[in-house]
Amino acid sequence: MKNIAVIGAGTMGNGIAHTFAQFDYKVNLIDLSETSLEKGMATVTKNLDRMVAKEKISEADKTRTLGNISTFTKLEEGVKGANLIVEAATENLDLKLKIFRDLDKFCPAETILASNTSSISITQIASATSRPEKVIGMHFMNPVPIMKLVEIIKGYSTSEETFKTVEELSKKLSKVPVEVNDYPGFVANRILMPMINEAVETLYNGVAGVKEIDTVMMLGMAHPMGPLALADFIGLDVCLSILNVMYDGFKNPKYAPCPLLVNMVMAGKLGAKSGEGFYDYSQNRKAETISSQFKK
């Protein structure tokens, strides 16, 4: 298990590649876009520089980690020789099914295929392959190099051997693996997303403002970050996608996304990555941006 391929060079993908590479795994980072790969590697470099500045790693560690990562724009080339593939593409079922169909064609039967999906059924993803026993969920938390938790999701047909292999591998990355069954949202997002949605609903109904809601949860509930700031950090489009998966999966109205969240995503206000969400991230500012037009 020394050769790893990571599909997707975005926030999660480059963090996963960074983490494996830091622990001396050879990593192929794959993305269709050369620009995305360049941005992903720039993020890895910046995060390593931060770790050097904090004296958590040395310059030699940084150089070694970067040397362990190779980049590819062609899936078939990038997955060649990989013992484990971690898919970290956009949270879109059709896209994931296509990727796993292709992986099934390109990879030997013994290759383990993992998804970093935060909510989509591993059983459904596995159905796109001829090796459902080798398909598993490996849900890292963001930021990957720092957060300890990995949710390991067993699909209906995931073998115990596959689970044990991924569990041990997670421990070798100094992560804490937690076994989770395959239901929409798993554990982390099944609990987190309704809380975020309720915070958005509280804002939408005019109970309190953005900073006030976040302050209550930080000072009153000892949360390190308020739910609205956290939603911006995750990405409002990602929050909406996860809520929709749970709403469709459970048919329970408690998972229905707040209209304000839907409107903000439609308006392109996606949080930190778009420069504006519940807070303003332009010029490194962090000020309230919600206007009265979004309120009920």
- Reply yes or no on whether 170 is catalytic: no
Strand 26-30 relative to strand 112-115, pairing: unpaired
230 touches 272 (CB < 8 A) = no
The residue from 115, 116, 170, 189 that is catalytic is: 189
Catalytic residue among 47, 68, 118, 197: 118
Give me the catalytic one of 83, 139, 197, 241: 139
Q: Which of 151, 170, 241, 276 is catalytic?
A: 151
Main-chain phi, psi angles of 113, to 5 degrees: -110, 115
CA torsion angle 101 106 107 113 (round to 10): -30
Question: Is position 174 annotated as part of the catalytic site?
Answer: no
37 close to 29: Cβ distance less than 8 angstroms: yes
- Tell me, yes or no, if 139 is annotated catalytic: yes
Burial degree of 157 (CB within 10 A; 0-12, 13-18, 19+) = middle
88, 12 Cβ separation under 8 angstroms: yes
Given a contact cutoff of 8 angstroms between Cβ atoms, the answer to whether 275 and 267 are in contact is: no
Please say whether the beta carbons of 136 and 163 come within 8 A: yes
Q: Tell me which residues are annotated as active site.
A: 118, 139, 151, 189
